[in-house]
Homo-oligomer: A and B are copies of this chain.
Amino acid sequence: MNEDLTLIGMEKGRQYETIISTKNEDGSKNAAPIGVIYAGNDKIIIRIFKGSHTLDNIIREKEFIVNITHDPELYTISTLGNLPQDYFEDDGSIKCMKAFFKCEVIRLTEAVKQSDPIKKKDEAIVIKAKVTDMTVKEDVHALNRGFGYVIETLANYTRFDIVGDDQKEEYIKKFKEANRVVLKVGTKEDIKSMQIIKKELMKKGYEP
């Protein structure tokens, strides 16, 4: 089966915010926010820090579910602790998702992501997986963080000429951080937008 993730707005090579649910050893369910990179066709790539329940579960079960949601409380509760069991459907997906898809592990690799500011050797595992079953109940786009950074950068840009030197330096610092994230996760349009802004800042004599 060829499950096409462009249906939920994913672009090849870009990273999207999702909540991944897995089965614990005792049969209960677990959920954690994980960035999912769309690798084209029916393939995805995720990177998970060692020592997490999610990674243990994926290594043991060789499968997981990617839930597509824009609900900030689900992200928050599942980051700070465990999502209660009554948040899950019997099939392991989270309740009330507009879209979710099941994945089977193809390959596990040790990796250090170079673009990450918190680099440590042997800290994470990169997992390549195949989408085996996609459910789309309502029109929904997987969330990409790039656009928010472009908007923030533009808001700062409009103030650039009316603030003092310290604040200008702060804005250049923020530009660099935003650009780092956009290059990692953003769409082609986000990246092009940051390049346009970068040129304008360079015209003003800065090196963003």
Contact A118 B17 (CB under 8 A): no
Q: How far is the CA of A79 from the CA of B155 in the complex (A)?
A: 9
Interface stretch (choices A58-66, A86-94, A139-147)? A139-147
Mask of A139-169 contacts with B, CB within 8 angstroms, 1/0 = 1000101111111101001110011000000
Contacting residues of chain A (187-208) with chain B, CB-CB under 8 angstroms: 187, 189-190, 192-193, 196-197, 200
CB closest residue in chain B, given A81: B200
Contact A193 B75 (CB under 8 A): yes
Q: How far is the CA of A162 from the CA of B9 in the complex (A)?
A: 34
Query: Ordered nearest first, which 4 A-B pairs have the shortest CB separation?
Result: A148-B148, A76-B193, A72-B193, A72-B150
Q: List the interface of chain A (C-beta within 8 A of B).
A: 17, 33, 70-73, 75-77, 79-80, 118, 139, 143, 145-152, 154, 157-159, 162-163, 187, 189-190, 192-193, 196-197, 200
30 A-B pairs with CB atoms under 8 Å apart are A33-B151, A33-B154, A71-B189, A72-B150, A72-B187, A72-B190, A72-B192, A72-B193, A73-B192, A73-B193, A73-B196, A75-B193, A76-B154, A76-B193, A76-B196, A76-B197, A79-B154, A79-B157, A79-B158, A80-B157, A80-B197, A80-B200, A118-B159, A118-B162, A118-B163, A139-B139, A143-B147, A143-B151, A145-B151, A147-B148
